């Protein structure tokens, strides 16, 4: 992964609202966008922006069911990115 992708990913996690969304999804599992919006008292547009950002950097997966979009943490990708970062920049392998 190139440096710019790592920067985008770490920026995503550096935002308090996005980090809280990730933590909530990690703890509770899959949730629909409207439930996330209600949990954090955010506007729909703000919630949508954060969810799309997190999905675009590979931290979330989504699926559509009817009119609802459900999100969950992409733990496999998070683990691969973390392992890749440690190996590429610090020479550390968790295997």
Location of structure tokens 């996690």: 13
Domain parsing of the chain, residue ranges: 3-90
CATH topology assigned to domain 3-90: Arc Repressor Mutant, subunit A (1.10.10)
Task: Encode burial over 59-71: b for 16+ CB neighbours within 10 A, e otherwise.
Answer: bbbbeeeeeebbb
In the prediction, which pLDDT does 45 show? 94
| pLDDT value for 95 | 64
pLDDT at 94: 77
- pLDDT recorded at residue 27: 97
SS3 15: coil
| Displacement of CA 52 from its chain's centroid (Å) | 9
- Give residue for tokens 């610090």: 90
- Distance CA(59)–CA(51), nearest Å, equals 9
Residue 55 confidence (pLDDT): 97
31/74 Cα distance (integer angstroms): 13
Question: For 41-72, what is each residue's pLDDT tens digit?
Answer: 889 999 999 999 999 999 999 999 999 999 99
């Amino acid at each position: 992964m190139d440096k710019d992708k790592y920067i985008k990913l770490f920026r995503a996690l550096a935002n308090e609202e996005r980090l809280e969304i990730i933590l909530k999804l990690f703890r509770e599992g899959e949730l629909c966008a409207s439930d996330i919006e209600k949990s954090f008292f955010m506007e729909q547009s703000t919630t949508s922006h954060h969810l799309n950002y997190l999905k675009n950097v590979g931290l979330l997966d989504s699926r559509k069911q009817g009119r609802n979009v459900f999100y969950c943490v992409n733990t496999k990708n998070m683990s691969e990115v973390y392992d890749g970062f440690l190996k590429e920049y610090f020479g550390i392998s968790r295997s």
